[in-house]
Amino acid sequence: MFDWNRYNPRSRSVASNVQQYMAGATFPPLHFCPSAPAMPPEGHKSQKNKLTVRLERYRKLGQMNRFKAVRLATETRRFIEKHVPCEPYDEEEIDPETGECVYLPCEGYDIASIRPPPLRRIEDLGTSWVESFPLRTVESLVHMIPEYVEAKSWNFSTGNYARDVDETIFRYYIWKDTKPRDYTRYKKQTSLIVAYQPPYILAPRDFEQFVQTKNIPSFDELKGANQERLTSAQKVWSKIWDACKENCCHHFVLTNYMQWAFCGFSKGWKYGFTSNIVDAYPISEADKRAQSMASGSDKPRSPNVIEYLFYWVISSMDYADAYTLPSVPEPVEPSLFETLTPKQCHFPRVPRVAFAVVSASASDCNEEHQEEIPDSPGLDFELETPRASPVPFVDEHWVAHPSHSPVAMRDRSSFVAHWRRTYERAHRRRGAGPLTPISLIVDAPSPVMSDWSDDSVDTVMESTSGPSQGVYSIDPPYVENGYEAVSQFE
């Protein structure tokens, strides 16, 4: 059990009231090294945010919209009140296995204090400030709350920017599942990106332009000699779009440590969404009371960065009461179909269909049928393959579904030619004697569409007359990386 007696009344554990800790957590002030680049004058843009981003045909982002600030704040407060404990519970503040704990200081709470080095370059901002304080704190809070026990395998880790030419001015962290992936079912492994730039690169004025950006021209709109240049804000949007698309996640956060924005992309990747800027250093309670008295209204407290960040992390994982990104009409993403077909489709089982082999004199395989023909409806006959695997659905014309599959073999002769060529290759590979051609093929509708059974097919083939040299059968194919049916020779 948790020992509450080891804390004095003026120093409490975070687990005693997580809601109160999150509301009172404060960011340490950012210190700059004397050798760090100078901040631009107040109200001016930085001239150092020179991302090497250009218009690309593949980048579909075209329009950006802003979340309604009141709705986002209200949803965040409701979520915190409902899902974050405000009563003491039995949970260790420091993980005994990983040693992770919260690092953001809060008045009245027993928090391990660390003193990061002054900011000199982007590596210091990421490791010593962004990661050490807000990211590790939110990660520890997610792991600490019993409701999210399934998220214990999720962590913030460094993004894949080792070969990025912009790594000196733009980097990001990813919120991902570190548990070994289960390939038997689809599960999102990365759900959030936290992109960051130093404040002398992404200055407050640059941040304002980022959230105020309304659109990005498409490649076709600006092609030609007189195409306009992208603004620095549009380049930041494009850079983040590329990172999110690479990691297959629609939620992201942008920060320069002093300011934060909580954003996302639509399902079709054509629209972007962003919140207003949230300052890491909110005004004091005394100033808030003075403002409320001057305005004559007692407005509810706005969530701080930690509360927003916690809510955005949980929302990216699709937990209950999470914030849902707006659903907007947009062109369908082709990759959505690629993820559904054909690897994850389940097809009915096809019974084994036997083919009798007779002498060469009765063969229908002549030269006129040796022309090249397209692949069958997803059927590619190979030799070695596992048995009892699912096969594509084919109708009575041997046309595979879905409709974009290759055209089925249209007649019996072309099927015989294709089958014979495959059999010849296998025969030569085995180094066997003279090839015995195929002359008899069961003429019938698709086994999937018929009432055939294994027994009835065997009965039909046993009753077939002629000097049979052997029986070859098509086993249920193995499907991998597309519609690929394979045969098994006996």
Assess if residue 346 is contained within a domain. Answer: no
296 and 384 inside one domain: no
SS3 248: coil
> How would you classify the pairing of strands 251-255 and 271-274?
unpaired
Are 411 and 417 spatial neighbours (Cβ–Cβ below 8 Å)? no
Sorted by sequence, the CB contacts under 8 Å of residue 132 that are 6+ apart come out as 103, 114, 116
411 and 303 inside one domain: no
Assess if residue 344 is contained within a domain. Answer: no
Cα separation of 174 and 155, whole Å? 8
Token look-up 């070859």 returns 472
Could you read off the pLDDT tens digit of each residue along the chain, which spans 490 residues? 333 333 344 567 888 899 999 999 999 999 999 999 999 998 899 989 999 998 888 998 989 999 999 999 999 999 999 999 888 877 666 665 666 788 899 988 888 778 888 999 999 999 999 999 999 999 999 998 989 988 988 999 998 887 889 999 999 999 998 887 665 454 568 899 999 999 999 999 999 999 999 999 888 776 654 455 789 999 999 999 999 999 999 999 999 999 999 999 999 999 999 999 999 987 655 555 655 555 555 678 899 999 999 999 999 998 989 999 988 887 665 554 444 444 444 444 444 444 444 444 444 444 444 444 444 333 333 333 344 334 444 455 554 444 344 444 455 556 667 667 777 777 677 665 555 544 444 344 444 333 444 444 444 344 444 443 433 333 333 333 333 333 333 3
283 and 391 inside one domain: no
202 and 82 inside one domain: yes
330 and 415 inside one domain: no
101 and 244 inside one domain: yes
101: Cα separation from own chain's centroid: 28
Are 408 and 377 spatial neighbours (Cβ–Cβ below 8 Å)? yes
257 and 299 inside one domain: yes
Cα separation of 307 and 263, whole Å? 15
Are 38 and 27 spatial neighbours (Cβ–Cβ below 8 Å)? no
Assess if residue 360 is contained within a domain. Answer: yes
SS3 177: strand
- Residue 103: HSE in the Cβ half-sphere, 13 Å Cα cutoff: 18
For residue 51, the enclosing domain spans 4-338
98 and 138 inside one domain: yes
Task: State which H helix or E strand residue 241 sits in.
Answer: helix 232-247
Q: What is the pTM of this model?
A: 0.65
Handedness of CA 154, 157, 159, 162 (dihedral sign): negative
Sorted by sequence, the CB contacts under 8 Å of residue 118 that are 6+ apart come out as 31, 32, 33, 36, 124
Q: From the CB of residue 33, how many other CB atoms can be counted at a distance below 10 Å? A: 12
How many domains does the chain contain in total? 2
Cα separation of 239 and 244, whole Å? 9
Q: From the CB of residue 141, how many other CB atoms can be counted at a distance below 10 Å? A: 22
285 and 376 inside one domain: no
Task: State which H helix or E strand residue 251 sits in.
Answer: strand 251-255
Cα separation of 315 and 90, whole Å? 25
Q: Give the C-alpha distances (Å, rounded to integers) separating 188 from 63, 178, 236, 243, 314.
A: 26, 11, 25, 16, 13
Task: State which H helix or E strand residue 21 sits in.
Answer: helix 18-24
Assess if residue 257 is contained within a domain. Answer: yes
Assess if residue 155 is contained within a domain. Answer: yes
311 and 433 inside one domain: no
Q: From the CB of residue 257, how many other CB atoms can be counted at a distance below 10 Å? A: 22
Assess if residue 193 is contained within a domain. Answer: yes
Handedness of CA 235, 238, 242, 248 (dihedral sign): positive
- Strands, E assignment, 400-488: 470-474
